[in-house]
Structure 1
Amino acid sequence: MQYRKMKKTGDELSALGFGCMRLPEKSGKIDEERAIAQIRFAVDNGVNYLDTAFQYHMGASEPLLGKALADGYREKVKVATKLPHWIVRTREDMDKILDVQLSNLKTDHIDYYLIHNVAGSSWKKLCELGIIDFLDKAKADGRIINAGFSSHCSKDEFINIVDGYDWAFCQIQYNFLDIKNQAGTEGLKYAASKGLGVIIMEPLRGGMLAKNIPSAVQSVWNEAGIKKTPAEWALRWIWDHPEVTVVLSGMNEEEHIRENIRIAGEAYPNSLTPEELGLVKKVEDTYRKLMKVGCTGCRYCMPCPAGVNIPVCFEMYNNKYLMDGAEKRGMLSMGNPDFIYLMQAGGILEGKKPAYASQCKNCGKCVKACPQHLPIPQYLNDVSKEFEKPTLKLLTKIIKPFMALERWRTMRRAGKKT
């Protein structure tokens, strides 16, 4: 296993991290025996960074990881989990939620604690509620060792959050199709320049860069002198970046775990040749030609006068048609593009006003600003037809009370502990 140093902490972390968002399931629940065996196998073979979150697997991921880390495994690893800021109403809520998470994980400290999926407006709200005081005190009393944040926000919002606190690390979505999307390459390099360790999520874009590869894309991969799977090329491309500390993989197949461990032991920074980098660039270009919308996520079209989150709308639209088996995933699945559209364009997690494609007023401002000269209003109409079916409003009515119930259950459990 290759290890990379977290600059501010000195920790030597495995280049491959085990993501606990997509653990193996049986009869709709986590297959505990298999999941624990997979996690322990990864740890036995050098993986020492394990990532979970409060709501993964409908709240079952943290407790499962707590069980997996019994029998001496807790001492071998660094555990990362996340504060679900969308259920935080007061400064006291932060402590209560953290205490529940410590109980879930059967530990007295979180090695790497993240504010989950934070963006500009939620960061501002959290600051007003006292998040900095919470992080400082939780670190001082040892419940948190290192503080960080995960984010899917724009580059500018990301940089503002990086500068907003003395973070040890951050977590971003990054792969060869997201070099300009979200934090992108500029955000990656900026965070690293500030001394932050950078954890990478969605290196395979939910699996779409690894499975059911379009024939046009596979033809390009076949041009390589040394044959590798599409997944290996995608992972090696990320590990080629010296700014990257850990790449998370939501591994739930034993074969994939073994393969990823092998690749992580070989894929060192700056190890790809110019020819190999050119091959990946050619694959990127081929994917973009296959996308429904040729949006690069540059955000020149923003802000939209009508409040539409144009880049998110197009990202979800493209993902739905490039993601293998998207139509087979449950509507409330974290990997379902329809659900992600609801949560992000619907502004549910951020507490914002909706930013749906259907809000477009066809003013034309975005068309003038787009470097790709895309007919954005026309594409937004397509997005609206694809995602905004009658079930959308129904689901919105269901999700909000569900999140309120989730918060109530958490606070009730925290109240019983005190």
Structure 2
Amino acid sequence: MLYRKMPKNGDELSVLGFGAMRLPTKEDGSIDEKIATDMVRYSIDNGVNYVDTAWPYHMGESEPFLARALADGYREKVKLATKQPQWMVKNYEDMDRFLNAQLEKLNTDQIDYYLIHSLVKSSWENIRDLGVMEFLDKAKADGRIVNAGFSYHGAPEDFEPIIDAYDWDFCQIQYNFLDEDVQAGTKGLEYAASKGLGVVIMEPLRGGNLADPVPDEVMDIWNEADARRSPVEWALRWVWNRPEVTVVLSGMSEPAHVEENLRIANEALPDSLTEKELRLVERVANKYQDLMEVGCTGCRYCMPCPEGVDIPACFEMYNNLHMFDDEDRLMMMYAAKLGGILRGSETNFASQCTECGQCVDACPQNLPVPELLEKVSETFEGPGLGERMEFAKQLFSDDSC
């Protein structure tokens, strides 16, 4: 495992961090604790020493899960990060209440890296006016947190003022080869580093969209490279190529992801990609931009939808329809999955959207979700949906499926 130094405190952190937002789950959606615990501990045994979670991950179960996974001496081997759910904070006292609850949920005396979660300009101004800077100073002084930071999902122009507003130790930004000019972007990465902040990266694979399956047009470009690397390796190596990056979080959801990410992390030196390789990645980025219709990362901040729409699943299928030559299967899968047949649940169709706007406020990508859901509905729910649902019921009614 390679390590990089957190600038302000000198912590030697593994370049690969374990992100606990996309843990393996059972059919009912709950965390598969046995597999997830094995993954977390195997990662730590192989050098990972930074573990990241947050209040809402896995519908509130990620933090207590990690308390159990980090038992038996594993807590002492890692720096633990979690986040204040600032959208739930109504007054100064709430900040203490949430932090104390998180300490209890995580079964720890202190949070090594504590972030104000998912800031944009308006949420920063709100939490700032409620006294968050004074709260962070107090929590650091009394030892409940060690390092203070924030995660960012706002506009590019609003990032630097937040950096300059407080003596932050670190920040967390979305960064991958499709998002150089999105949110904080490359400019924000460089600015934060110039101010002495450590930079933790989220969404290096853009919610898995840069991993398998890969569109044929994209794979054709990857296959031109002299070095044979998987799409995941190209994406991660591109982020780690930046010397300003301290830690890259990976939301690993199966043991194979852990193995692959650990292997890549052992070779993730800064400035190790050649100019020829960087140009190749740029060509891949341009091709993805041509193919992708919706910039959804699958973070699920928009969920649950009050009308039952599975928004990330709708967008995933819509993007896949435009990226892959697999229309018949995807039309069937939409009927089966969103029609509740595979899940044994109520329907989760895009057409159930009532444009309440809750998802728009929650989306860190600032997507016009209702408008996009209308396009999904027009694409997948036209003539033939009823027949596909009936066929799916027959296809998936066999007990062996």
The answer, yes or no, to whether TM exceeds 0.5 is: yes
Which residue number corresponds to residue 257 of structure 2? 256
CA distance in 2, matches of 1:123, 1:207: 28
Task: Note the C-alpha offset of 1:212.
Answer: 1.3
CA distance in 2, matches of 1:107, 1:319: 40
Mark the CA change 1:199 to 1:319 in structure 2 (over 3 Å): closer, same or farther: farther
CA distance in 1, matches of 2:240, 2:185: 15
State yes or no: 1:119 paired with 2:120. yes
CA distance in 2, matches of 1:270, 1:105: 37
Which residue number corresponds to residue 61 of structure 2? 60
Structure 1 residues 109-188: aligned runs within 5 Å: 109-188=110-189
Structure 1 residues 6-405: aligned runs within 5 Å: 6-27=6-27, 28-292=29-293, 320-322=318-320, 346-348=360-362, 356=368, 383=372, 385-386=374-375
Contact 1:291 1:318 survives alignment (8 Å)? no
Task: Note the C-alpha offset of 1:261.
Answer: 0.7
Contact 2:360 2:369 survives alignment (8 Å)? no
Contact 1:357 1:384 survives alignment (8 Å)? yes
CA distance in 2, matches of 1:355, 1:24: 27
Task: Note the C-alpha offset of 1:292.
Answer: 3.4
Which residue number corresponds to residue 4 of structure 1? 4
Which residue number corresponds to residue 376 of structure 1? none
Residue identity opposite 1:17 in structure 2:
G
Runs of 5+ in structure 1 lacking a partner? Answer: 295-315, 359-380, 390-418
Runs of 4+ in structure 1 displaced over 2 angstroms? Answer: 291-294, 316-320, 322-331, 341-346, 354-358, 383-389
Contact 2:20 2:57 survives alignment (8 Å)? yes
**How many residues in Structure 1 have an aligned counterpart in Structure 2?**
338
Contact 2:85 2:116 survives alignment (8 Å)? yes
Mark the CA change 1:115 to 1:329 in structure 2 (over 3 Å): closer, same or farther: farther
Contact 1:21 1:61 survives alignment (8 Å)? yes
Task: Note the C-alpha offset of 1:159.
Answer: 1.2
Mark the CA change 1:388 to 1:141 in structure 2 (over 3 Å): closer, same or farther: farther
Q: Percent identity?
A: 57
Contact 2:294 2:319 survives alignment (8 Å)? no
Residue identity opposite 1:7 in structure 2:
P
Residue identity opposite 2:361 in structure 1:
G
Which residue number corresponds to residue 394 of structure 2? none
CA distance in 2, matches of 1:330, 1:101: 37
Other structure's SS at 1:148 match: strand
Other structure's SS at 2:218 match: helix
- Once the two structures are superposed, residues 78-130 of structure 1 have per-residue CA deviations (whole angstroms, 9 ceiling, x without a partner) of 00000001110010000010001000111000000000001101111111111
Other structure's SS at 1:167 match: coil
CA distance in 2, matches of 1:355, 1:44: 39
Mark the CA change 1:320 to 1:86 in structure 2 (over 3 Å): closer, same or farther: farther
TM-score by length of 2: 0.78
TM-score by length of 1: 0.75
- Once the two structures are superposed, residues 138-197 of structure 1 have per-residue CA deviations (whole angstroms, 9 ceiling, x without a partner) of 000000000000011111111111111110111111100000111110011111111111
Contact 2:293 2:318 survives alignment (8 Å)? no
CA distance in 1, matches of 2:232, 2:369: 32
Mark the CA change 1:47 to 1:164 in structure 2 (over 3 Å): closer, same or farther: same
CA distance in 2, matches of 1:217, 1:56: 31
- Once the two structures are superposed, residues 194-213 of structure 1 have per-residue CA deviations (whole angstroms, 9 ceiling, x without a partner) of 11111110100111101111
Contact 1:13 1:49 survives alignment (8 Å)? yes
CA distance in 2, matches of 1:345, 1:59: 18
Mark the CA change 1:243 to 1:355 in structure 2 (over 3 Å): closer, same or farther: closer
Task: Note the C-alpha offset of 1:349.
Answer: 7.6
Mark the CA change 1:357 to 1:251 in structure 2 (over 3 Å): closer, same or farther: closer
Which residue number corresponds to residue 403 of structure 1? none
Other structure's SS at 2:179 match: coil
Contact 1:347 1:355 survives alignment (8 Å)? no
Residue identity opposite 1:321 in structure 2:
N
Other structure's SS at 1:347 match: helix
Task: Note the C-alpha offset of 1:357.
Answer: 7.3
Contact 1:19 1:251 survives alignment (8 Å)? yes
